[in-house]
Amino acid sequence: MKVRRNVSFFLAVALLASPLVAIASAKPNSSRIEKHAAPLSVSPIRSFDKRGEEAGDRFGTLRFRGGITMSSSDAAFGGYSGLEISADGARIMAVSDAGTWLAADLIYKDNRLIAAHRAEIGPILALGSRPLVREQDRDAEAVRLLSGDLEQGTMLIGFERNERIGLFQLNKGELGAPTRYLRPPVRLQRNKGIEAVGVIRQGARNGTVIAFAERTLDSNGHHRGWFWKGDKARPVALTNVGGFDVTDVAADPEGGEVYVLERRFRWSEGVRMRIRRLESKQLKTGAVLSGETLIEADFAFEIDNMEGLAVHRDAANRTVLTLISDDNFNPFLQRTILLQFEVVP
């Protein structure tokens, strides 16, 4: 059973890397979608290690706090590449590279994630509340709260192909139209553009937007990134360690640390994921950031194409990381999974 599942996953990633992706991935046309309730089928992930619960819940500097696999009969469900979570961990909002958003409530038992329900799906809009007609304009890869909360606030959404970061309004939990865009100061490589967007919450850079390209490297081989305070972008870089791609970045709402989610695929090893932590004192214009690796995992663990990362504090003030995977609209070969980890001091 395990072998069959691994083979299916490698076939899925092969499709991602090939011209057949357009055939294999039936992305919905979000310009024709309106906000609606979506049915969810959810099953718990009790152990991060596929050997089972006897393997324990401690992995590097992280402690596993449960996870779920989500699926839906709704054709608009899937492709989730960016994730945000409410301050109390009770609600999530994810964005899809098909140009849609998903909101859902999370259910916990004994501080472990066990389910999700009350899901809604809606379209990401263009300026003036117009639909995003062109497919290259819908490629949303990151989402982050700039201010407010998931009920009433301002959201940042990063787009990879037509590279830009939009400032969107949230009203009663529904994502409205953007008011303006931030744009990187340089042209990025095709399909290797903005993938990760975060907002620094503490220190001298409180309120500063930080973003990284997925796989566009500078002349020194580092991942390109930028700080925005207002409309002006200033450069920052992240070391390229082991050929991983950057898939998301999120800041601790109280501690000031920044967490970076990365992913790598090799035919010889399959898919891997890694999380690095950057200390707040490192976050300076022009800096080359490296950070500390908290966890690195391969397909011996319950991972998929991990692309979204969010951070919140629980009732005991513990830092909790939540991750989501992009199934590339291949639900028979890949999964939409949600994982949670506690950062162990």
Residues in the chain: 345
Q: What is the C-alpha separation between 314 and 203, in angstroms, rounded?
A: 21
User: What is the C-alpha separation between 136 and 162, in angstroms, rounded?
Assistant: 6
> What is the pLDDT, as a whole number, of residue 189?
63
- The CA-atom distances, in angstroms, between 286 and each of 20, 197, 203 are 40, 18, 18
Tokens for 144? Answer: 């982050």
CB atoms within 10 A of CB 88: 12
Confidence (pLDDT) at 25: 55
Backbone dihedral angles phi then psi of residue 170, each to the nearest 5 degrees: -105, 130
> With contact defined as beta carbons under 8 Å apart, do 200 and 256 qualify?
yes
> Among candidates 62, 106, 48, which has minimal Cα distance to 319?
62
DSSP category for residue 98: T
Q: Which amino acid is at 132?
A: L
Is beta strand 319-325 parallel, antiparallel or unpaired with respect to 306-313?
antiparallel
For the chain, domain boundaries: 2-343
- pLDDT tens figures, 190-237: 666 789 999 999 888 899 999 999 888 889 999 999 999 888 999 999
HSE-up of residue 114 (Cα within 13 Å, Cβ side): 6
Predicted pLDDT at 300: 94
Could you say which residues of the chain have pLDDT below 70? 1-25, 189-192
Between the alpha carbon of residue 301 and those of residues 49, 142, 183, 260, 329, the distances in Å are: 5, 24, 37, 19, 21
pLDDT for the residue 230: 85
Residues 6+ apart with CB under 8 A from 118: 37, 104, 105
pLDDT at 23: 39
Q: What pLDDT does residue 8 have?
A: 45
Q: For residue 190, what pLDDT is reported?
A: 67
Question: What residues does 41 pair with on adjacent strands?
Answer: 71
Q: What is the pLDDT of residue 47?
A: 96
CATH for 2-343 (3.40.50, 2.160.10, 1.20.120, 2.115.10): 2.115.10
Tell me the per-residue pLDDT of 67-88, one tens digit each, with 9 for 90 and over.
Answer: 999 999 999 999 999 999 999 9
**What is the structure's pLDDT at 191?**
64
CA atoms of 19 and 31, how far apart (whole Å): 24
pLDDT of residue 144: 98
CA distances from 74 to 34, 66, 102, 103 (A): 13, 25, 11, 14
Task: Locate 177 and state its tokens.
Answer: 């139209």
Please state, in angstroms and rounded to a whole number, the distance separating the CA atoms of residues 82 and 325: 9
Q: What is the pLDDT of residue 34?
A: 95
Rounded-to-integer distance, Cα 165 and Cα 178, Å: 10
